Every structure is written in C-alpha cells, then in structure tokens.
Amino acid sequence: MALVTMKPVRVCLGPPAGRTGLMALVTTKPVRVCLRPPAVRTGLMALVTTIAMLVPAAVRAAPAPVATIEIEGVISPVTLRLVGLAIDRAQAERAQALVILLDTPGGLERSMRAIVQRMLNAEVPVVVFVAPTGARAASAGVFITMAGHVAAMAPATNIGAASPVSIGGGNDKTMMKKVENDAAAFIRTVAIERGRNADWAEKAVRQAVAVTEREALKLNVIDLIADSLPDLLGKIDGRTIKLPKGTVTLATKGAPVRPIEIGFRDRFLNVITDPNVAYVLMMLGMLGLFFELSNPGVILPGIIGGISLILAFFAFQSLPINYAGLLLILFGIVLLVAEIKIVSHGVLAIGGMISMALGSLMLFDSPEVGFRVSWWVIAPTVGATAGLFLFVVAAGVRALGRPTATGAEGLVGKTATVRERLAPEGQVMVSGEIWRAVAQGEPLEPGAQVRIVSVDGLTLKVAKAEVKGGRT
C-alpha cells in the first residue's frame, strides 16, 4: 500500500492537490503520511476502474425491452403501415428487438415487397415468429419470414406455397413467367442475405412447395422452433445480429415484453380487407344505392350504400378480384330489378339468384382459401338479397290485386247514408262528404242506407242497400 504507512513518518505536504488527497484518506490509527501527486493519481485511477467494472453489471441486470406486434390475415397496405409503425416505434423506444407474430395466407405483392424492404433496412433486429400453433406463413408470408433477422415457428405450423397469383386473371403465360422469375430472384437474394436455404425458397415460388416447422428447421428455412414467446426469447438470447450500422448481441432472456398496440383506425381498416367483409360491404352498397334510386329522397339507404361501396373498393385493391365474377353479381342485381318491373312469373328472379351465386364464387380469383368468400357468407347474403327483392315483388302483386281505394273507382261499392230525400235525385253522405246522388228504383227517405253503383262525374248512382235478414 503506497498511500498508507503503519509507522510514524514525517508529514510532507506538497501542492494543494496533495492536501486535498490527504483529507480523502481514511486510516485506522494516527499516522504521519507523506503524499506525492503521483500517488494521488494512482488512487483515483483505481477508484474509476472499480466503478467502470460495476456499471456493466448493473446494465446487464436490467435488459432492454422487446417489442411485439401481431400480424394476422391478408398482407395489404394496412399491414405495411402496421409493420412500418412497429419498426419505427421499436427504434424510438430503444427496444433491443421487434418480434412479429405472423399468421397469414398471403397478400398483395406490392405490400409484401415494401415490408421486406423495411425489414432489410431496419436498425433494430426483427424476429419473425410464425405463431400461434396452427398458424401459417403462406405466399407473401414466406418472403416476410425469410427477411427476418431471426426466423422461428411454433409447433404445428407450416410455411411455403409462394407462387405469385395474377390479380384479375388477365395475364398471359409470358407475363406470368416474368412475374414468377422476378419473385424467384427476389426471394433468393433475401434468403442468401439472411443465410438461409435459397434453393428451397426458389422452389416455394416456382413449384409452390410447403413444409412443416420441423422440415423447415432441417432444410435451414428457419432458425429454430419455439413453443411460446418466452421460449423464443430464451432461445435467441446471446445471438449476434448483423444490422446496417453494425452487429448487436441479443440479451432477451427475461427481458420485458412490450406489445405495440394497434389503433382503432388500423384495426378497422384491417378488418374490412377480409374477403368476406369486403363482399358483404359490396352487396350492402349495391342494395343501398338501388333503394335510393328507386325511392328518391329516402337518403339513408343512399348514404349507407355509398359508404359501403367506397370501403369495399378500398378492400378490393389488396384482393385478387375476378372481374367476371363482379359482372355476374351486377347482372344478377339487374335481373332482380327487372323482375319488379316485368312480370316473368319468377324466371328473372331465379336467374338473378343463380347469377349472384356464381359471381360470388368467382369474385376472388385465388387458389388459397384465405382469399375466397366462405359459403357461410355467400348463402345468407344471396338468400337475403333475393328474399328482399322477392318480398318487394310480392308486395307489389298484392297491391295490384286490391280494390282501388282512392278516386272515383274507390267509391264504387261503398255504403252511403241518404241526407236529402232521393226522388230520384237528392243528397247522400259518404265518408263525411256530401255528394249529389240519383236513386235507382223507388224513392228513398233520409237516413236510409244505399250502395253506390257507379260514379258519373260528380253524381253518384245509388241503389237501396240490402242488409242481413233482408231488411234495409
């Protein structure tokens, strides 16, 4: 110990720095100390070194949080907004990683490419976790999973079938080949960048192959299998991730998890991009506009119909619409409207129902179940629409069969009361109105009941009314 001596020595105080250092020393016995500036500097350096060794330990005791977001359903412009928002928020909150819990049947190629681009350039590690159990990463989901810095899957999940699908079914073989080659090259470069199986990735595009989570792990398509989010964080702890600004080492074991909440606006937009919801909105919009045009001035059906159609068109931009199916639905609506105007004994109504049902089946042109309208939605919607039109038709037919209730024709057959003696002319009262009347047959006294036989201008021709029992 160069600074403290156990024997009495002569005190030699040097410069002011020496006196300051002397006051900071603690001794167990009265001693005489000789301080020199170099000794003071040595003591301070030792103290700083000790503090520097303690700081990392304190930092390790409180790991940075891990941000999470759930992406479920069709990949659309709304999904792109959500992923971009999650990456930005994770970076702003200094999260050590962002975990995307993915479950998708695929989606729009343009949105998928933008998402992959954001992930490749993210300044925070992005972990794609295909979860929960039973989830899938199909079509566009394969590209997103491949682009993650870490790719993981839960048990009983699958990945694959990334062949591009033409929206509207209008591309010829040459165009589809170009699209396929472009997608294959894109997924290969993403897989190579992340150190994964590029050959299998290309097969997923060209041959639409799909594998389970265990097969994906063996083929180096993913990095690991995890039972849950805590299990995932424990398994990726200590991994070194390459980012655009350098490498980072994850310390996710026991790290706090902060879910990124999705706002009402994004939740609502995500819901309406579901094919079933978009289909119902389109049908509701058509019905609303039809009733508004049929009954101008009602206003409410037109407002609901206009809003529904606009929302449906927003959803259609991210769905593989088949325009032949859309035209069949429109044609079915026209046939149902024609049934109201033309008496066809139900032929037009049946044709309209068949046209709407076929159009509903063809509306979304995609082999994937997630992009098709469910029969549980088609049957009630077509049935309710046809039933509504048939109800209107039946109500119109019943109205035509009823006797005329207004005008001159509506007076024929009614019973009137004689107000002024009919001999044969006089006055009668009908529904609180006084009419000039001419009696057929014998004269009738005031108070007698008569039946209106016909109307001649403003004169009623009446006859003696018969009541039960043969008395008048």
Per-residue pLDDT for 264 more than 50? yes
Lowest model confidence (mean pLDDT) among 51-55, 194-198, 331-335: 51-55
The pLDDT of 311-331, averaged and rounded, is 83
Structure tokens at 336: 């149902």
Do 318 and 432 belong to one domain? no
Give catalytic residue positions: 139, 178
Least confident range from 5-14, 174-183, 232-241, 455-464: namely 5-14
Does residue 211 sit in the same domain as residue 86? yes
114 with 259, same domain: the answer is: yes
Percent of the chain with pLDDT over 90: 35
Question: What pLDDT digit, counting tens, does each position of 195-238 carry?
Answer: 999 999 999 999 999 999 999 999 999 999 999 999 999 999 99
Contact yes or no for 208/162 (Cβ under 8 A): yes
Cis omega (within 30 of 0) on the bond before 30? no
Are 426 and 414 a contacting pair, CB within 8 Å?
no
Does 32 map to a domain? yes
Given 401, 428, 445, which residue is the final one in a domain?
401
Query: Residue 324: inside a domain, yes or no?
Result: yes
The alpha-helical segments, DSSP class H, found in 62-98 are: 77-92
Q: Could you report the per-residue pLDDT of 153-203, keeping only the tens digit for each?
A: 999 999 999 888 765 445 568 888 888 999 999 999 999 999 999 999 999
357 or 165, which is more confident? 357
Please report the DSSP string for 163-187 in residue order. ----TTS---HHHHHHHHHHHHHHH
Tokens of residue 306, six digits: 């206009």
Same structural domain, 233 and 174? yes
What local confidence, expressed as pLDDT, does residue 121 receive? Answer: 94
The band of 41, judged by pLDDT with boundaries at 50, 70 and 90, is: low
Q: Mean pLDDT lowest for which of 133-147, 152-166, 232-246? A: 152-166
Report if residue 317 sits inside a domain: yes
Domain assignment of residue 89, given as a range: 66-264
Alpha-carbon gap, residue 65 to 319, rounded angstroms: 36
Q: Kindly report the backbone phi and psi dihedral angles of residue 336, in degrees, each rounded to the nearest multiple of 5, phi listed first.
A: -65, -35
Least trusted range by pLDDT, from 89-93, 156-160, 404-408? 404-408
Q: Give me the count of residues in the chain.
A: 472
Residue with tokens 């990095």: 223
Position 379 in a domain: yes
User: Could you give phi then psi for residue 206, rounded to 5 degrees?
Assistant: -80, -35
348: helix, strand or coil: helix
Q: Within a 13 Å sphere around the CA of 463, how many CA atoms are in the beta-carbon half? A: 8
111, 224: one domain: yes
Residue 2 included in any domain: no
Task: Spell out where 73-212 has E strands.
Answer: 97-103, 126-130, 136-138, 150-153, 158-160, 210-212
Query: How much is the average pLDDT of 444-455?
Result: 85
C-alpha 238/C-alpha 247 separation (Å) is: 12
Give domain status of residue 71, yes or no.
Answer: yes
In this structure, the answer to whether residues 176 and 257 fall within a common structural domain is: yes
User: Which residues on adjacent β-strands are paired with residue 449?
Assistant: 417
Please state, rounded to an integer, the average pLDDT across all residues of the chain: 81
The answer to whether residues 289 and 146 belong to one domain is: no
Q: What is the pLDDT of residue 396?
A: 66
Backbone phi and psi for residue 242, each to the nearest 5 degrees, phi listed first = -90, 120
> Residue 155, Cβ neighbours under 10 Å: how many?
15
Query: Is pLDDT above 60 for 424?
Result: yes
Residue 15 φ/ψ, nearest 5 degrees = -65, 170
Q: Where are the alpha helices (DSSP H) in 222-346?
A: 229-235, 264-272, 275-294, 300-316, 323-341
Q: Same domain, yes or no, for 101 and 239?
A: yes
- High-pLDDT (> 70) share of the chain, %: 79
**Residue 78 near residue 266, CB atoms below 8 Å:** yes
Concatenated DSSP letters of 413-464: T-EEEEEE-BSSEEEEEETTEEEEEEESSS-B-TT-EEEEEEEETTEEEEEE
Residues 217 and 357 in one domain: no
As a whole number of angstroms, the distance between CA 431 and CA 453 comes to 16
Tell me how far apart the alpha carbons of residues 92 and 111 are, in angstroms, rounded to a whole number.
23
pLDDT at 363: 83
pTM above 0.75, yes or no: no
**Domain-ending residue, one of 61, 85, 117:** 61
- Which CATH number do you get for residue 180? 3.90.226.10
Question: Which residues 6+ apart lie within 8 Å of 454 measured at CB?
Answer: 412, 460, 461
Task: Please state, in angstroms and rounded to a whole number, the distance separating the CA atoms of residues 175 and 14.
Answer: 89
Mean pLDDT of the 53-81 span: 77
- For residue 449, give the CATH number of its domain: 2.40.50.140
Both 354 and 279 in one domain: the answer is: yes
The more confidently predicted of residues 472 and 46 is 46
Higher pLDDT residue, 363 or 121?
A: 121
Q: pLDDT band for position 470 (50/70/90)?
A: very low
Q: By C-alpha distance, which of 53, 19, 55 is closest to 35?
A: 19
Q: What is the mean pLDDT of residues 136-165?
A: 94
State both tokens at 433: 């109105």
Q: Tell whether 10 is covered by a domain.
A: no
Q: Are residues 354 and 306 in the same domain?
A: yes
Considering the domain architecture, whether residues 245 and 314 belong to the same structural domain is answered as: no
What pLDDT does residue 116 have?
A: 96
**Highest mean pLDDT: which of 15-19, 172-176, 424-428?**
424-428
Task: State how far the alpha carbon of 403 is from the alpha carbons of 14, 406, 413, in Å.
Answer: 127, 9, 10
Number of domains making up the chain: 4
Here the tokens at position 95 are 């999260």
- Examine residue 354 and state whether it is found in any structural domain, yes or no: yes
Query: Which of residues 264, 289, 309 is at a domain's end?
Result: 264
Let me know: does 187 contact 205? Beta carbons within 8 Å.
yes
